[in-house]
Structure 1
Amino acid sequence: MTTGTTSATPHPVDQYRPLHRMLLFGLQHVLVMAATPISSVFLVSATLGLDTDLTVNLLSAAFLLSGLGSLLQSLGPWKLGARLPFVMLPGGAPLVLFLAIAEQHGPRTATGAVLITGVFYFVVLPLFSRLLRFFPRLVIGTMITIVGVNLVKVGALLVTGEPGTAEFGDPRNLLLGMATIGFTVLLYLVFSGVLRQLAVMLGMAAGTALAFALGAVGTAPGGSGGLLQVPQPLPFGAPEFSLMASLPLLIYSLASMAEATGQTVINAETVGKEVDARRDAPKTIRGDAIVSLSGGVFGLPLMVTSGENIGIVRVTGVRSRFVTVAAGLILILIGFCAPVTGLISTIPSAVVGGTAMVVFGVITVLGVQTLARADLDDHTNTFIAAVALSLGLLPILVPDVYANFPDNARILLESGVAVGAITAAVLNALFHHVRPRLASRRTPTPAAEV
């Protein structure tokens, strides 16, 4: 495939742009994807009942690690990162699994699970290409759909409050959450181009402005009053390690590697660069692994490469990976800037919940889109998806359904993502790998036929 460049002209993905333009385009990437780390940290804080100082510490770490991960993936040193315009974020399935482990066994065990999984990436990586056939679109689409439904529920609880508490159904919180969604929809309807890409962030800003008018905005933490802050490692204390508790994350990591492979190929196609999936996808996965290990030290869920920025590349036509390098530097500055993270921490949970419902609703749609490309006209695939979705959604739709089961069984069964992924993978292997082989053995040879 021709790329339109000569040997003397670097590929557009490797070209520098004027500094002011790279910073401007980098800021655009940050504004579009910033809702994800903010929503993720607020979900962790609200679910685990963390105080303001600890929330600010996690928020600072999330921006810092997102920035470092974006630099690593974009620059690609030492075969860590594919040298493509990627950004890295916490969130998605790793966030759901982290919260599930933290709620059942405590945040120290959840931190230990992240660290175990980060090491597991490196151990399994040499074998992952052989395992990819067990995680086709049917399995990944099922998993992403369950993740999206679970995240929408978690975001909704930030708006409604937990059932049975005094805050449940507070009219003001419901107003803020629904208004934030309404602002986002209105802005997406009215704007086009870059501003449309910023509709989520602008919707959150509008929801926060309404909260300010209603007197629902909190105050920023006092702290030392300085301009700089450094996130503290091990904010929950020394990690505790449990292989059984880590199992859902370990299972997810296999599908994550398949997803990272697809992200690498899609990103390369977007910028018009030829890549070898077997050679370049492992670089992306190594970047995910090393940043996840670092994130675990700072109390964060697994960090993953994000596809959100690929849409920006398509809209702007700016393919340079140094734009996401600029985005990474901006994220790092935000992480170290105490006033910025302190200000972000004052956003009401209901506003963040409304934003999260939109952002994570998109994940559900992506899961459905992936399933739509899994040949559901094949009744076998429809059957597999139906069973996996039913079992995976059960603990999400009916909480505590496994409350009377032994603790070790509950660890796995109460993780809808893990149950759905395992069910889809096992059924896919049985119907598409085992059954055809058995059928071929039973089929008589032509010589035996009359």
Structure 2
Amino acid sequence: MRGSTTRRPHPVDEMLPVGKLAVYGFQHVLAFYAGAVIVPILLAGAIGLSERDLIHLINADLFTCGIASIIQSVGFWKIGVRLPLLQGVTFTAVSPMIAIGLAAGGGTDGLLVIYGAVIVAGLVTFFIAPVFGKLIRFFPPVVTGSVITIIGIALLPVAALDAVGGGSDPQPTDPRNLAYALGTLAVIVLIQRVFRGFMATVAVLIGLVLGTLVAWLLADAHFDSVADSDWFGVTTPFWFGWPQFSLAAIISMIVVMLITAVETTGDVFATGEIVDKRVGSEDVARALRADGLATTIGGVFNSFPYTCFAENVGLVRLTRVKSRYVVAAAGVIMILIGLVPKAGAIVAGIPHPVLGGAALAMFATVAVVGFQTLSRVDFHDHRNVVIVASSIGLALFVTVQPDVAKAVPEWAQIIFGSGITLGSITAILLNIVFHHIGKDFGPAVAGAPGEPTVRLDQVNKMSREEFVETFGRLFQGDSPIVARAYDRRPFTDINALRAAFQEALFAAPDTEQRALMQAYPDLGCDAVADGTTGEDSRRDQASAGLIHLDEESRTEFARLASAYRERFGIPLIVCVRDAAGREALLHEGLRRLENSPTQEHAAALIEIAKIANHRFSDLVAEANPIMTARTRAFGTH
């Protein structure tokens, strides 16, 4: 009998039993539900739609979310990434859609212009998907971080309006509104603090449910429309009427889809890592085609632009359930819920203050994600400071003063009427101007005021001798470490240059490392105070007051230095700028006397690297007048 082996499918392609598919799929729906319905709720309140219209929007949204999720996870032809990625309406589109709707007169008239822009933007996304990989270089962290931060901040006023009553009748002085909003927010925070896992992922949903229940018990939540709604209803194409097309609205929505394409790309790569499946450019193209197709379907079936939901990416990591058919099952469940108008009527009955409390948490979280993205940006490069500051500043300007849109021609009012759109376009254009047009000189990395500034492109062209002369002060004495860092050229940015010095230090032979350690002065010694060991050593130790010691303190430091040298044969090296004061330095030195020679060798290298980092930052700050002024103002230089 011939033996045979059956190749087990990748966990992503594993078909689970129907029961597990249903349970895991419903869990995805729960984690997703609050985020899914909040977009139509916010839009309806902002452009003045009726409760009947809102109910239909919610059902249409859930119905189309289900279709979009099945397209993305199951896929066909070259559409759909075939990963466990659940699709939902992007928050990026909320503010631009509100601006589009209000500019078109609000109500269903505004909604028809929104749908026209959504349909066209979806088609554009579908057809540019194959070439988007070539555009990614125009969306580095400085752009995406700015945009995501702007999205979160620009949406907070919408959440705040809901928190005080929302719509056309806000009541900021009503204590009940404040109690509902803050109470809902407190529940969400409490759940996040107390629980982990699945409960934490549905904290927003629980907050909405509890807040609404309390409001209902106090007669502040009404669900009269539930009884009047049908048990079954199908959303039909163009239910609100034929879409209307406005060029400015279309441009605004295309910008939104370009931004969400960047988010989708990140989600695809993140999910690929979670499920251990390699992701390539064709996978990204498949995902973006699915986004574009789903967005166009959304415009036809009375819904909005679609993208991958990051919340559900986190749920895949949390549960370790990697099957894409779980997301497909969630899509089926959402389609079924979308066919029940009574479910939409229940959601439409959530009081504005309760919704506002939950939205405050969600939108602020979006801003935090933007902060995290911006943390990867090199802000020593002042061009990046200009990009972020200008884009966020303009976004907040038109968000806080929306009437300024009336000062520009009608075709530009869509752009100036949305902080997200204006801020995003500003970030994209400034990034192109500063980083892609003309000669890229790179950031300034060295040069004191009154001296020629050394820029990154000049560093990459330096001879070894020039490089050592420019950066030799990072390490004490005449060390070959800097010359070793030179071999790591070219440097793409300041962080790469900084890393080159660190890597050269730790990769050096023990003999070089030992010789370098011997060059560092003792803490609090007279040679540092009188400047014999160099200005950098004096600056380092002055930060802890070690150049003005009294006799007793000088004796204590001298005794410690002698004991340390006797035990390890090298001076006690500590990054003084990171220390908490003289007593902390003495305590640290006495503690380290108990270590082994091998451990102290490693500890000394780490301290030298910290000292070099501070000296490198001094060089960069001195080369950038604005940074120098800022650090001096805050006493950090």
Asked whether 1:384 is paired with 2:387, we answer: yes
Please show how residues 305-384 of structure 1 align to structure 2 within 5 Å: 305-384=308-387
3-state DSSP of counterpart to 2:349? coil
Asked whether 1:14 is paired with 2:13, we answer: yes
Question: Residues 251 and 418 of structure 1 are in contact (CA less than 8 Å); yes or no, is this contact kept in structure 2?
Answer: yes
CA displacement, residues 364-406 of structure 1 (integer Å, 9 cap, x when unaligned) = 1111111112223433212221111111221012221232322
TM-score, length-normalised on structure 2? 0.65
Question: Residues 149 and 364 of structure 1 are in contact (CA less than 8 Å); yes or no, is this contact kept in structure 2?
Answer: yes
- Structure 1 residues 128 and 27, CA gap change in structure 2 (3 angstroms): same
Query: Which amino acid counterpart does residue 201 of structure 2 have in structure 1?
Result: Q
- Structure 1 residues 169 and 298, CA gap change in structure 2 (3 angstroms): farther
Question: How many residues are aligned here?
Answer: 438
- Structure 1 residues 14 and 166, CA gap change in structure 2 (3 angstroms): closer
Aligned to 1:52: 51
Measured in 1, the distance between the counterparts of 2:401 and 2:15 equals 53
3-state DSSP of counterpart to 1:304? strand
Aligned to 1:199: 203
Aligned to 2:90: 91
Measured in 2, the distance between the counterparts of 1:41 and 1:220 equals 20
In terms of Rg, which structure is larger?
Answer: 2
Query: Which amino acid counterpart does residue 28 of structure 1 have in structure 2?
Result: Q
Please show how residues 243-282 of structure 1 align to structure 2 within 5 Å: 243-276=247-280, 278-282=281-285
Question: Residues 145 and 363 of structure 1 are in contact (CA less than 8 Å); yes or no, is this contact kept in structure 2?
Answer: yes
1:54 deviates by 1.0
Aligned to 2:596: none
- Structure 1 residues 220 and 14, CA gap change in structure 2 (3 angstroms): farther
Aligned to 1:156: 160
Question: Residues 248 and 415 of structure 1 are in contact (CA less than 8 Å); yes or no, is this contact kept in structure 2?
Answer: no
Asked whether 1:66 is paired with 2:61, we answer: no
Query: Which amino acid counterpart does residue 111 of structure 2 have in structure 1?
Result: P
- Structure 1 residues 20 and 170, CA gap change in structure 2 (3 angstroms): same
Question: Residues 161 and 169 of structure 1 are in contact (CA less than 8 Å); yes or no, is this contact kept in structure 2?
Answer: no
Asked whether 1:228 is paired with 2:222, we answer: no
1:438 deviates by 8.0
1:408 deviates by 1.9
3-state DSSP of counterpart to 2:96? helix
1:402 to 401, 405, 410: 405
Aligned to 1:299: 302
1:225 deviates by 5.5
Measured in 1, the distance between the counterparts of 2:228 and 2:209 equals 27
Question: Residues 220 and 345 of structure 1 are in contact (CA less than 8 Å); yes or no, is this contact kept in structure 2?
Answer: no
Measured in 2, the distance between the counterparts of 1:333 and 1:78 equals 26
Question: Residues 113 and 245 of structure 2 are in contact (CA less than 8 Å); yes or no, is this contact kept in structure 1?
Answer: yes
Measured in 2, the distance between the counterparts of 1:438 and 1:269 equals 35
- Structure 1 residues 220 and 296, CA gap change in structure 2 (3 angstroms): farther
Q: Which runs of 5+ in 1 are unaligned?
A: 1-5
Measured in 2, the distance between the counterparts of 1:40 and 1:339 equals 19
3-state DSSP of counterpart to 1:344? helix
Question: Residues 244 and 408 of structure 1 are in contact (CA less than 8 Å); yes or no, is this contact kept in structure 2?
Answer: yes
- Structure 1 residues 315 and 222, CA gap change in structure 2 (3 angstroms): closer
TM-score, length-normalised on structure 1? 0.91
CA displacement, residues 400-423 of structure 1 (integer Å, 9 cap, x when unaligned) = 123232222322222222221222
Question: Residues 79 and 290 of structure 2 are in contact (CA less than 8 Å); yes or no, is this contact kept in structure 1?
Answer: yes
Measured in 2, the distance between the counterparts of 1:166 and 1:226 equals 31
Aligned to 2:145: 141
Question: Residues 63 and 335 of structure 2 are in contact (CA less than 8 Å); yes or no, is this contact kept in structure 1?
Answer: yes
1:107 deviates by 1.8
1:222 deviates by 5.4
Question: Residues 161 and 170 of structure 2 are in contact (CA less than 8 Å); yes or no, is this contact kept in structure 1?
Answer: no
Question: Residues 35 and 355 of structure 1 are in contact (CA less than 8 Å); yes or no, is this contact kept in structure 2?
Answer: no
Aligned to 1:40: 39
How large is the RMSD of aligned CA atoms in angstroms? 2.3
Question: Residues 162 and 168 of structure 1 are in contact (CA less than 8 Å); yes or no, is this contact kept in structure 2?
Answer: no
1:189 to 172, 193, 215: 193
Aligned to 1:24: 23
1:284 deviates by 0.6
